[in-house]
């Protein structure tokens, strides 16, 4: 049983720890019944004490299910979590389940790493699969099956500084609803002192997950970026180019956003220090912003151009193929526990992530929370306008092609049209064999 | 007689075995396996790997990002190697003299070396952050224009270079300091008696005697300029648009973000070949000019 610790793949320290625990294990009394051990990797991509929250939820589960032991291992950001999970798999010591990027689904299927939930849940479980918001399931379904269960899911929302709105003579209860209003208000909100900008109108992060922010702009301009089969992209469509032109123009032409790229990781700090009046960021940051903002702030849906829209984002639960039937059922029990209405509500309150199912919003805890803090419902309301996040075969490469194009355009190295044409060419090259 | 000599041989080989096993399994075998794999396509569970000859190398030559990161890496090497060695030598000479609080200054110079790169990069991230970062705050205090340091392709690579020099110079300083302390004091006394100026003494006596150390430091600096990529994970992820990406970081991306093991192997072979050539050149050409005692 103590061998389970080796599964973490933490190298030297993992091995040392394993040895230490093995020694300790010799003196421990053998358990009365066979326990099922589960190892779960999970990523954290936003601020706040998320690891503590996950540990708390898992501890609650083990208290109620004494026959299952769960080791929840924080595995870095989304990329790191996927790398660790797949590396462990290749080494023949896989975790049984993991939270990974919802958009890794095609990659995981191609690696033959995961099992579809349809085969595990039985007849009664099909209703469970249908209990989540359909928009959140869009990235889970592929090849006619369900491969992922929504957990830490988000949309992009617009955080704005109400004090800055008041100072600029704007109504703090009326955030921009359209691109035109965003530009007009952005100009009023940008505060200059000679050549220096003391406060920018808006910041949209363009490192870390640039494709995600860009997808929101593209959808608002009425353009999807890929097909549901994950083997075609529309990076060079005219509406896509227009969307990138608008992003570039916010810095270059309208002067409401800094030129160059904007760092994902430090943007929240910029917003909290009043250096930008508006930021677009994951709703997963909501609780952290709420706890740290020293000014009056608001949260709104993203503005519309041809339509409203944001991609969904975040992580799903996956169950790995190389597990015993008992482990699969134990993993399923853990997932069903963590996605129950009450636990989902608790998770949503503590982080700001969307509660993944409508009935969670009927629980007394979440109802009371939204009563007191209505902004907690913005991301949910925006689900009505949400689409699946960019996800294709060879998703790492395709995503990087788009990320590079966005950054090339924002830094002025290429025109939006040329940059996106290059990205499309590269995406076509790697996706051709999946058509 | 013959039997005892035979035994002697066995004894020698036995002593070598542990090191040989480690070298074989962790250096030579992976090297050969990497070269071997670079001739195959990447297999997935659904598409098994197959022999493709030089296809991966052909793909590499057409890969714009590859050429971009090679160019970046050369700039990075040109920026870090001379600067960090010069700074290390300067610091070593400085803290070798009799100055008050010498131990404290030495420790201060060495601190960047002992700090973990990831932690350091997180601190530097907030130095470089526009508007609220330390650098911009200083510039603002003097009414100078601020910049988006890491978001601008013209500045991002140099930001990485500065961090690397800061991180490395203290480490190289230790070697120079040790070498300086090993210099016999008679040399300096003799030079003074002969009326040589301090600059002349340094140029004609100290510097030549430090050459073995300089070669060692140079080899390390060159290797580090290809090896040091931890900071990219925190600071830029190679962006914007690969402007700060280095060869090893790109290999990591190809291997672990794209899961294209074979192409990553191909790039690794190129990196290995380049490093082997450089080291060979350094030993062959510089060795002759170095005065060993």
ipTM, two decimals, is 0.75
> For chain B, give me the number of helices (H) and strands (E)?
16, 0
Other Cβ atoms within 10 Å of B119 Cβ, number:
10
Same domain as A253, residue A185: yes
Contact B163, B169 (CB under 8 A): no
Same domain as A304, residue A397: yes
Residue with the two structure tokens 């793909």? B59
% helix / strand / coil in chain A, to the nearest 5?
50, 20, 30
Contact B242 A196 (CB under 8 A): no
Residue A12 confidence (pLDDT) above 80: no
The share of chain B scoring above pLDDT 70, in percent, equals 96
Residue B56 confidence (pLDDT) above 50: yes
Could you tell me if residue A97 is inside a domain? yes
pLDDT band at A176 (very low <50, low <70, confident <90, very high): very high
DSSP-derived 3-state class of residue B189: helix
Contact B66, B267 (CB under 8 A): yes
Same domain as A395, residue A365: no
The share of chain A scoring above pLDDT 90, in percent, equals 63
- Closest partner residue to A261 (CB to CB) among B125, B240, B260 is B240
pLDDT band at A107 (very low <50, low <70, confident <90, very high): confident
Cα separation, B213 vs B201, whole angstroms: 18
Query: Which residue did the predictor score with more confidence, A193 or B35?
Result: B35
Interface of A with B in 230-269 (CB under 8 A): 258-263, 265-266, 269
DSSP-derived 3-state class of residue A222: coil
CATH assignment of the domain containing A111: 3.40.190.10
Distances (CA, A) of B223 to B32, B83, B205, B245, B279: 20, 15, 28, 17, 9
Same domain as A308, residue A160: yes
Domain count, chain A: 2
- Disruptive mutation site among A213, A404, A405 for chain B (greatest number of B CBs within 10 Å): A404
pLDDT band at A45 (very low <50, low <70, confident <90, very high): confident
Distances (CA, A) of A124 to A148, A159, A343: 18, 41, 21
Cα separation, A277 vs A175, whole angstroms: 11
Q: Which of B201, B149, B164, B183 is nearest to B87 (CA)?
A: B164
Cα separation, B239 vs A96, whole angstroms: 34
Same domain as A246, residue A279: yes
Burial class from Cβ neighbours inside 10 Å (0-12, 13-18, 19+) for residue B253 reads buried
Cα separation, A262 vs A276, whole angstroms: 12
B46: contact with A, CB 8 A cutoff: yes
The superfamily in CATH containing domain B55-289 is: MetI-like (1.10.3720.10)
pLDDT band at A47 (very low <50, low <70, confident <90, very high): low
Same domain as A75, residue A216: no
Could you tell me if residue A377 is inside a domain? no
User: E-assigned strands of chain B?
Assistant: none
How far does CA A107 lie from the centroid of its chain? 17
Same domain as A65, residue A122: yes
Contact A270 B152 (CB under 8 A): no
The set of residues, in sequence order, having a beta carbon less than 8 Å from that of A330 and lying 6+ positions away, is A36, A38, A68, A96
Instruction: Answer yes or no: pTM beyond 0.90.
Output: no
Q: What is the DSSP string of A135-187?
A: HHHTTTEETTEE--EEEEEEEEEEEEEHHHHHHTT--TT----BHHHHHHHHH
To the nearest whole Å, the CA of B217 is away from the closest chain A CA by 29
To the nearest whole Å, the CA of B48 is away from the closest chain A CA by 11
Contact A147, A114 (CB under 8 A): yes
- Check residue A51 and give its pLDDT: 87
Other Cβ atoms within 10 Å of B51 Cβ, number:
8
Tokens of A249: 């123009």
pLDDT band at B161 (very low <50, low <70, confident <90, very high): very high
Average pLDDT over residues B266-281: 90
Cα separation, A157 vs A300, whole angstroms: 6
The share of chain A scoring above pLDDT 70, in percent, equals 91
Same domain as A120, residue A220: no
Could you tell me if residue A382 is inside a domain? no
Which residue of B lies nearest to A266 if distances are taken between CA atoms? B129
Average pLDDT over residues A75-94: 82
Angle at B203 between CA B197 and CA B206, to 5 degrees: 100
- Check residue A1 and give its pLDDT: 31
- Closest partner residue to A407 (CB to CB) among B125, B132, B240 is B240
**What are the sequence ranges of the domains in chain B?**
55-289
Give the DSSP letter of residue A273.
T
Interface of A with B in 43-82 (CB under 8 A): 79
Angle at A403 between CA A306 and CA A90, to 5 degrees: 125
Contact A265 B125 (CB under 8 A): yes
Same domain as A168, residue A271: yes
Contact A281, A156 (CB under 8 A): yes
pLDDT band at B149 (very low <50, low <70, confident <90, very high): confident
Tokens of B243: 């402007």
B140: contact with A, CB 8 A cutoff: yes
Contact B228, B222 (CB under 8 A): no
Bridge-partner residues for A193, per DSSP?
Answer: A196
Residue with the two structure tokens 């952005």? A186
Other Cβ atoms within 10 Å of A203 Cβ, number:
25
Cα separation, A288 vs A290, whole angstroms: 5
Bridge-partner residues for A99, per DSSP?
Answer: A317
Query: A121-125, A241-245, A398-402: which has the minimum mean pLDDT?
Result: A121-125
Tokens of A188: 């009023």
- Check residue A5 and give its pLDDT: 35
**What is the per-residue pLDDT across A154-165, written as a single tens digit (0 to 9) for each?**
999 999 999 999
Tokens of B47: 């598409």
- Sign for the CA dihedral angle at B261, B266, B272, B275 comes to negative
Phi-psi region at B53: left, alpha or beta (left = phi > 0; alpha = psi -120 to 50): left
Residue B41 confidence (pLDDT) above 90: no
Q: Which of A134, A137, A136 is nearest to A145 (CA)?
A: A137
Same domain as A181, residue A98: no
* Contacting residues of B for A258, CB less than 8 Å apart: 130-131, 148, 151
- A/B interface, count of CB pairs below 8 Å: 103
Q: Which of A96, A69, A73 is nearest to A9 (CA)?
A: A73
Average pLDDT over residues A342-359: 91
- Closest partner residue to B241 (CB to CB) among A86, A196, A413 is A413
Same domain as A417, residue A281: yes
* Contacting residues of A for B256, CB less than 8 Å apart: 79, 83, 87
Contact A278, A189 (CB under 8 A): yes
- Check residue A17 and give its pLDDT: 40
Contact B127, B150 (CB under 8 A): no
SS (H, E, C) B223-255: HHHHHCCHHHHHHCCCCCCCCCCCHHHHHHHHH
* Contacting residues of B for A111, CB less than 8 Å apart: 44-45, 259
User: What range does the domain containing A233 cover?
Assistant: 155-312+388-434
């Amino acid at each position: 049983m103590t061998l389970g610790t080796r599964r973490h793949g933490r190298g030297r320290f993992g091995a040392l720890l394993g040895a230490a625990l093995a020694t300790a294990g010799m003196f421990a009394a053998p358990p009365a019944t066979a326990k099922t051990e589960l190892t779960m990797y999970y990523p954290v991509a936003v601020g706040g004490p998320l690891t503590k929250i996950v540990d708390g939820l898992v501890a609650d589960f083990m208290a109620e299910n004494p026959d299952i032991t769960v080791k929840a291992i924080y595995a870095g950001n989304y990329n790191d979590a996927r790398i660790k999970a797949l590396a462990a798999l290749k080494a023949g010591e896989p975790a049984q389940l993991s939270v990974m990027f919802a958009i890794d689904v095609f990659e995981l299927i191609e690696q033959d790493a995961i099992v579809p939930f349809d085969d595990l849940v039985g007849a009664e479980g099909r209703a469970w699969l249908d209990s989540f918001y359909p928009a959140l399931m869009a990235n889970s379904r592929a090849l006619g099956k369900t491969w992922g269960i929504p957990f830490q899911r988000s949309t992009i929302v617009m955080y704005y500084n109400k004090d800055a709105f008041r100072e600029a003579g704007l109504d703090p209860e009326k955030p921009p609803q359209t691109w035109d209003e965003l530009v007009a208000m952005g100009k009023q909100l940008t505060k200059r002192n000679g050549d220096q900008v003391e406060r920018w109108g808006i910041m949209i992060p363009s490192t870390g997950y640039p494709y995600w922010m860009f997808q929101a702009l593209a959808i608002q301009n009425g353009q999807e970026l890929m097909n549901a089969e994950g083997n075609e992209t529309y990076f060079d469509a005219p509406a896509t180019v227009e969307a990138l032109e608008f992003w570039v123009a916010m810095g270059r032409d309208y002067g409401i956003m800094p030129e160059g790229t904007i760092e994902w990781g430090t943007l929240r700090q910029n917003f909290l220090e009043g250096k930008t009046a508006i930021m677009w960021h994951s709703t997963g940051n909501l609780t952290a912003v709420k706890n740290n903002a020293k000014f009056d702030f608001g949260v709104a849906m993203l503005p519309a151009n041809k339509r409203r829209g944001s991609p969904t984002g975040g992580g799903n639960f996956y169950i790995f193929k190389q597990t015993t039937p008992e482990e699969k059922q134990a993993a399923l029990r853990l997932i069903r526990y963590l996605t129950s209405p009450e636990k989902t509500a608790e998770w949503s309150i503590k982080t700001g992530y969307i509660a993944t199912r409508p009935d969670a919003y009927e629980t007394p805890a979440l109802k009371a929370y939204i009563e007191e803090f209505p902004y907690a419902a913005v991301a949910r309301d925006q689900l009505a306008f949400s689409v699946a996040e960019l996800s294709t075969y060879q998703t790492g490469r395709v995503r990087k092609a788009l990320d590079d194009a966005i950054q090339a355009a924002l830094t002025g190295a290429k025109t939006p049209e040329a940059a996106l044409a290059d990205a499309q060419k590269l995406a076509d090259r790697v996706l051709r064999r999946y058509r | 007689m013959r039997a005892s000599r035979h035994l002697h041989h066995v004894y020698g080989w036995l002593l070598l075995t542990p090191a040989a096993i480690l070298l074989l399994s962790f250096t030579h075998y992976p090297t050969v396996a990497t070269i071997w794999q670079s001739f195959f396509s990447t297999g997935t569970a659904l598409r098994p790997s197959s022999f493709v000859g030089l296809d991966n190398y052909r793909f590499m030559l057409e890969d714009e990002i590859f050429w971009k990161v090679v160019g970046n890496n050369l700039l990075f090497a040109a920026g870090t190697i001379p600067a960090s060695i010069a700074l290390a030598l300067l610091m070593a000479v400085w803290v070798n003299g009799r100055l008050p609080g010498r131990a404290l200054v030495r420790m201060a110079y060495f601190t960047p070396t002992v700090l973990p790169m990831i932690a350091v990069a997180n601190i530097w991230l907030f130095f470089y952050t526009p508007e609220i970062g330390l650098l911009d705050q200083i510039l603002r205090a003097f009414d100078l224009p601020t910049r988006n340091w890491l978001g601008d392709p013209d500045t991002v690579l140099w930001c990485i270079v500065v961090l690397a020099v800061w991180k490395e110079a203290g480490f190289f300083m230790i070697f120079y300091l040790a070498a300086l302390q090993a210099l016999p004091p008679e040399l300096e006394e003799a030079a003074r008696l002969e009326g040589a100026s301090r600059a002349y003494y340094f140029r004609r006596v100290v510097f030549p005697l430090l050459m073995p150390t300089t070669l060692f430091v140079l080899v390390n600096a060159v290797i580090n300029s290809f090896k040091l990529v931890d900071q990219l994970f925190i600071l830029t992820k190679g962006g914007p648009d690969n402007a700060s990406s280095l060869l090893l970081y790109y290999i990591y991306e190809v291997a672990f973000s794209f899961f294209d093991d074979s192409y990553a192997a191909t790039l690794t072979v190129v990196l290995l070949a380049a490093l082997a050539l450089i080291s060979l050149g350094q030993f062959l050409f510089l060795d002759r000019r170095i005065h060993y005692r």
